[in-house]
Amino acid sequence: MSDDPIPLKLAHPGGKRVKGQKQPDNVRYGNSRGYIEARLRRDFEEGCKEAGLLLAGIRSGAVSHYSAAVEMSYSKRREPLGTGSENAARTRAWRLHKLLNSRPDPKAVIG
């Protein structure tokens, strides 16, 4: 049994869209947290190591769903308005760098 409370199916990518077209039940798409996690899980199962690391980072709280989606090019980050912190992008980039480029602990005992 899966640890997910609600199994999510992903919408079929591509294809012609018709105005007012309804999606089948339990199909998620867009920028919702459930969709992003389902898409990362699908990409990880298809062999994308980066998707697995980002999924683990989301679950541990190291990165947000939105940052993971932007990193995987699922969505595009909005242009900054210039009213926020100047260091927010650096902090975000550093967290993603630490998550995706992990190194072994140099203080660990080699045995």
Kindly report, residue by residue over 38-60, the tens digit of the pLDDT.
899 999 999 989 999 999 999 99
pLDDT of residue 5: 56
Structure tokens at 79: 């242009």
**Kind plus residue range of the DSSP H or E element containing 38:** helix 33-45
Structure tokens at 28: 């998620």
Distance CA 44, CA 88 (A): 28
pTM strictly above 0.75: no
User: Residue 28 phi/psi, 5° resolution?
Assistant: -110, 145
User: Across residues 3-29, what is the average pLDDT?
Assistant: 59
pLDDT band for 69, please (50, 70, 90 cuts): very high
* pLDDT digits 0-9 by tens, 72-101: 988 888 887 888 887 888 888 899 999 888
Distance CA 57, CA 103 (A): 15
Q: Under a CB-based contact definition with an 8 Å cutoff, are residues 65 and 36 in contact?
A: yes
Mark 82-100 as b/e (b = at least 16 C-beta within 10 Å): eeeeeeeeeebeeebeebe
pLDDT band for 1, please (50, 70, 90 cuts): very low
pLDDT of 66 over the 60 cut:
yes
